């Protein structure tokens, strides 16, 4: 049996990789994928806890997170495509009409 | 033998949400039968539906806290108050949208449908009694608003605002979710009451001291901080607010605050009283930083819309100040004061009318190819259009907290709460920043009344659309009414506390 700490450490590492990707990468699609990685890291944590606690709630939450992540990706990609229509670019540094 | 337990479900408690879900479907279907020139009719259907649902939600007021859907869902005075205000805000926003959508050529049925979807998320958030419900409500709200922000597809600013808001919002929900996962792991439940029970039960004190649990709480607060645009998590807000269609900006600045603050209060006050000292210190720092940053940065703006965006960061700070001062320690025991919670409710109500009004003025001057976004554009408007000028002055004074307007009573009540619970420093920062805010609101009034219009300046004309006119009259009257006769509204704000803690 795999101890719970393994799940938690895996979740934490994946979450940190995802967060670092959002903060450091400049390609909008990679940022989107990094966000998905963060959400899936949360899922690993939920399922790990769920197994440890012998409680189904964590798995139910995980399924909801997967569903929401799919909706989020759909909307995010649609916005990206709208941006791409007139300017071919995915680099967020070029998205600079509004000052930060 | 397997025992089948039928959960206790009272659908009537969720009547506003169920009605709204039906309304959205109806709007989407009606949209198919309406020709492109007449899409405003879809908006009218949405408006009438929202008003009726607001009355339905109002009917649930004052009947105490009742839960349904196996405790996933709670109807108490706080949630009813938030629902009524969100629906009111939506109704006014639709009135503001009707004309604006035509001018900006975004008059599609989906516009109203997406608006209603986001409202559905807000109502669920307000009533969420479980981390799962709150999360789903939050995402329904956020995802719909990402679409609304980017709705002016022909306008590069709107698309850009949509992308920025989306990326930051999605990142924030990841952070929030990780906090929820850690909370679930330590307490073994996602129910708000269940979490509180886990903390007060055996070994609860040890959980509250666990560094990983504390980290989870910080992530939770940070996630909500992103949604509320508290400094230092505010960087998406000025861009998103500037690029979004103006009625949507007004809508999200008010309605999102209502729903998010309600969910935040429910999580912090009901689920986490055991860790109150920690989240209180954290929120204290966030509040002080938000108040200073939002108000100081607003001074430097040349765009009126952007200035209002920064000022809404400052106002988020005031709302949060109410959340912070709600908690006090009496005889070593954590207590939540009624005055703090009701100050939050009243401040939000005052902010609803005031801020929608300020954005409404911007919508009033919008015409094809001209937005009147810059402060300079408003030179001499006070003399040229006295009524419009007066209305704008009322909203600006109320935003700054000058009597006899709603904003004054809201701030007075808030500072009274802060002093009563002995948060003197926070009250002092709030007062100083209120004075700072009068600098940039006052400058706007000065531009309108003291400066002459330049020769080469484009003529500013005010729309005479009846929907806009009606909305702004309601907003001006409400702003003054709350300032002059606040009594019954204060009672309503005080009533939100009943059955909450």
* Per-residue model confidence (pLDDT) at position A26: 87
* Per-residue model confidence (pLDDT) at position B11: 87
Q: Please indicate whether, in this complex, the C-beta atoms of B159 and A18 are within 8 angstroms of each other.
A: no
Check pLDDT > 60 for residue A100.
Answer: no
Burial class of residue B281 (count of CB atoms within 10 Å of its CB; 0-12, 13-18, 19+): exposed
- Best probe of the B interface among A10, A34, A79, by most B CBs < 10 A, is A79
From the list B131, B153, B239, the residue facing A82 with the nearest CB is B153
- Best probe of the B interface among A3, A66, A75, A93, by most B CBs < 10 A, is A75
* Per-residue model confidence (pLDDT) at position B373: 86
Q: Which residues of A touch B135 (CB under 8 A)?
A: 61, 64-65, 68
* Per-residue model confidence (pLDDT) at position A88: 63
The ipTM assigned to this model is 0.93
Q: Are A66 and A42 in contact (CB under 8 A)?
A: no
Minimal CA separation from A1 to chain B, in Å: 19
> Does B6 map to a domain?
no
- Best probe of the B interface among A15, A27, A66, A97, by most B CBs < 10 A, is A97
Give the C-alpha separation, A81 to A70, whole Å: 17
Say whether residue B201 is in contact with chain A using an 8 A CB cutoff: no
Closest-CA residue of chain A to B179 = A42
Minimal CA separation from B153 to chain A, in Å: 7
- pLDDT tens track for B82-98: 999 999 999 999 999 99
- pLDDT tens track for B353-370: 999 999 999 999 988 878
Check pLDDT > 80 for residue B171.
Answer: yes
Three-state secondary structure along B489-501? HHHHHHHCCCCCC
Q: Please indicate whether, in this complex, the C-beta atoms of A82 and B167 are within 8 angstroms of each other.
A: no
* Per-residue model confidence (pLDDT) at position A89: 63
Q: Which residues of B touch A98 (CB under 8 A)?
A: 157, 160-161, 164, 238-239, 242-243
Minimal CA separation from B269 to chain A, in Å: 23
Q: Mean pLDDT of all residues in chain A? A: 89
> Does B500 map to a domain?
no
Check pLDDT > 90 for residue B213.
Answer: yes
> Does B113 map to a domain?
yes
* Per-residue model confidence (pLDDT) at position A87: 66
Burial class of residue B333 (count of CB atoms within 10 Å of its CB; 0-12, 13-18, 19+): exposed
Closest-CA residue of chain B to A70 = B143
Q: Tell me the mean pLDDT in the region A67-91.
A: 85
Q: Please indicate whether, in this complex, the C-beta atoms of B136 and A52 are within 8 angstroms of each other.
A: no
> Does B4 map to a domain?
no
Q: Please indicate whether, in this complex, the C-beta atoms of B157 and A97 are within 8 angstroms of each other.
A: yes
Structural domains of chain B, count: 1
Helix (H) or strand (E) holding B261: helix B246-265
- pLDDT tens track for B113-156: 999 999 999 999 999 999 999 999 999 999 999 999 999 988 88
Q: Are B275 and B208 in contact (CB under 8 A)?
A: yes
> Does B2 map to a domain?
no
Say whether residue A22 is in contact with chain B using an 8 A CB cutoff: yes
Q: Which residues of B touch A55 (CB under 8 A)?
A: 188-189
A86-100, B144-158, B448-462, range with greatest mean pLDDT: B144-158
* Per-residue model confidence (pLDDT) at position A65: 96
Q: Pull the structure tokens for residue B65.
A: 């806290």
Domain extent, residue B437, equals: 11-495
Say whether residue A51 is in contact with chain B using an 8 A CB cutoff: no
Q: Which residues of A touch B238 (CB under 8 A)?
A: 98
* Per-residue model confidence (pLDDT) at position A1: 74
Q: Which of B257, B177, B148, B27 is nearest to A75 (CA)?
A: B148
Give the range among A44-48, B82-86, B157-161 with minimum mean pLDDT. B157-161
Q: Pull the structure tokens for residue B13.
A: 């408690």
Percent of chain B with pLDDT over 70: 100
- Best probe of the A interface among B128, B177, B373, by most A CBs < 10 A, is B177
Q: Please indicate whether, in this complex, the C-beta atoms of B185 and A83 are within 8 angstroms of each other.
A: no
Check pLDDT > 90 for residue B7.
Answer: no
* Per-residue model confidence (pLDDT) at position B289: 95
Other C-beta atoms within 10 Å of B100: how many? Answer: 25
In this prediction the pTM is 0.94
Say whether residue A14 is in contact with chain B using an 8 A CB cutoff: no
* Residues, chain A: 100
* Per-residue model confidence (pLDDT) at position B1: 62
Alpha helices in B15-130 (DSSP H): 15-32, 40-58, 77-103, 109-127
* Per-residue model confidence (pLDDT) at position B406: 95
Check pLDDT > 80 for residue B196.
Answer: yes
The residues with which B335 forms a beta bridge, in sequence order, are B328
Say whether residue B150 is in contact with chain A using an 8 A CB cutoff: yes
Check pLDDT > 80 for residue B488.
Answer: yes
- pLDDT tens track for B228-264: 999 899 999 999 999 999 999 999 999 999 999 999 9
C-beta pairs of B430-437 under 8 Å, 24+ apart in sequence: B430/B291, B430/B317, B430/B318, B430/B321, B433/B291, B433/B292, B433/B295, B433/B314, B433/B317, B434/B400, B434/B401, B436/B295, B436/B296, B436/B299, B437/B295, B437/B298, B437/B311, B437/B314, B437/B399, B437/B400, B437/B401
* Per-residue model confidence (pLDDT) at position B470: 95
Say whether residue A83 is in contact with chain B using an 8 A CB cutoff: yes
- pLDDT tens track for B366-413: 888 788 888 888 998 888 899 999 999 999 999 999 988 999 999 999
> Does B275 map to a domain?
yes
Q: Are B94 and B112 in contact (CB under 8 A)?
A: yes
> Does B3 map to a domain?
no
Q: Please indicate whether, in this complex, the C-beta atoms of A75 and B147 are within 8 angstroms of each other.
A: yes
B440 Cβ neighbours under 8 A, 6+ residues apart: B298, B299, B301, B307, B311
Check pLDDT > 60 for residue B208.
Answer: yes
3-state secondary structure of B2: coil
Say whether residue B182 is in contact with chain A using an 8 A CB cutoff: yes
Identify the band that residue B282 occupies on the pLDDT scale cut at 50, 70 and 90: very high
Q: Pull the structure tokens for residue A92.
A: 């967020």
Q: Which of residues 204-243 of B touch A (CB under 8 A)?
A: 235, 238-239, 242-243
> Does B326 map to a domain?
yes
Say whether residue B189 is in contact with chain A using an 8 A CB cutoff: yes
Q: Mean pLDDT of all residues in chain B? A: 92
Say whether residue B164 is in contact with chain A using an 8 A CB cutoff: yes
- Best probe of the B interface among A33, A78, A82, A89, by most B CBs < 10 A, is A82
Q: Pull the structure tokens for residue B88.
A: 């009111």
* Per-residue model confidence (pLDDT) at position A94: 72
């Amino acid at each position: 049996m795999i101890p719970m700490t393994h799940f938690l450490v895996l979740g934490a590492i994946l979450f940190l990789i995802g967060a670092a990707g959002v903060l450091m990468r400049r390609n909008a699609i990679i940022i989107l994928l990094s966000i998905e990685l963060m959400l899936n890291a949360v899922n690993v944590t939920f399922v790990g806890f769920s197994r440890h606690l012998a409680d189904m709630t964590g798995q139910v939450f995980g399924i909801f997170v997967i569903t929401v992540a799919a909706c989020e990706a759909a909307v995010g990609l649609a916005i990206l495509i709208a941006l791409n229509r007139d300017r071919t670019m995915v680099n967020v540094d070029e998205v600079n009409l509004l000052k930060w | 033998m397997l025992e089948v337990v039928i959960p206790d479900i009272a659908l009537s408690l969720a009547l506003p949400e169920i009605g709204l879900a039906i309304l959205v479907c109806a709007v989407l279907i009606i949209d198919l039968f309406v020709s492109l020139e007449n899409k405003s009719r879809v908006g009218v259907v949405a408006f009438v539906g929202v008003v009726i649902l607001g009355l339905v939600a109002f009917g649930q007021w004052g009947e105490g806290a009742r839960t349904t859907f196996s405790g996933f869902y709670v109807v108490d005075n706080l949630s009813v108050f938030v629902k009524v205000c969100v629906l009111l805000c939506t109704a006014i926003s639709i009135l503001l949208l009707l004309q604006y959508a035509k001018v900006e050529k975004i008059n599609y049925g989906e516009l109203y449908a997406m608006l209603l979807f986001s409202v559905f998320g807000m109502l669920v958030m307000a009533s969420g009694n479980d981390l799962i419900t709150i999360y789903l409500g939050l995402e329904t709200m956020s995802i719909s608003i990402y679409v609304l922000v980017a709705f002016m597809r022909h306008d590069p600013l709107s698309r850009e605002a949509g992308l920025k808001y989306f990326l930051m919002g999605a990142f924030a929900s990841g952070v929030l979710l990780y906090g929820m996962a850690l909370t679930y792991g330590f307490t073994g439940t996602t129910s708000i009451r269940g979490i509180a029970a886990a903390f007060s039960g055996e070994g609860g004190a040890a959980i509250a001291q666990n560094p990983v649990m504390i980290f989870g709480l910080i992530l939770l607060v940070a996630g909500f901080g992103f949604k509320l645009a508290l400094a230092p998590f505010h960087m998406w807000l000025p861009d998103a607010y500037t690029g979004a269609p103006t009625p949507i900006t007004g809508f999200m600045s008010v309605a999102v605050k209502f729903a998010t603050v309600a969910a935040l209060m429910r999580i912090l006050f009901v689920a986490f009283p055991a860790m109150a000292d920690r989240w209180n210190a954290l929120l204290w720092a966030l509040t002080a930083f938000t108040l200073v940053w939002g108000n100081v940065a607003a001074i430097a703006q040349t765009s009126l819309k952007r200035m209002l965006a920064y000022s809404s960061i400052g106002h988020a700070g005031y709302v949060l100040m109410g959340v912070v001062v709600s908690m006090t320690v009496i005889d070593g025991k954590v207590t939540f004061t009624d005055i703090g919670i009701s100050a939050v409710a009243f401040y939000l109500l005052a902010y609803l009318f005031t801020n929608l009004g300020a954005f409404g003025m911007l919508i009033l001057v919008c015409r094809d190819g001209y937005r009147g976004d810059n402060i300079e554009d408003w030179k001499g408007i006070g003399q040229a259009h006295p009524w419009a000028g007066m209305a704008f002055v009322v909203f600006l004074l109320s935003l700054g907290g000058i009597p006899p307007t709603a904003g004054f009573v809201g701030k007075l009540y808030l500072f009274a709460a802060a002093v009563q619970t002995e948060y003197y420093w926070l009250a002092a920062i709030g007062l100083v920043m209120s004075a700072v805010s009068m600098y940039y609101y006052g400058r706007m009034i000065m531009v309108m009344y003291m400066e002459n219009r330049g020769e080469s300046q484009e003529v500013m004309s005010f729309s005479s659309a009846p929907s806009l006119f009606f909305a702004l009259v309601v907003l001006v009257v409400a702003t003054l009414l709350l300032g002059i006769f606040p009594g019954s509204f204060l009672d309503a704000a005080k009533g939100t506390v009943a059955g909450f803690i």
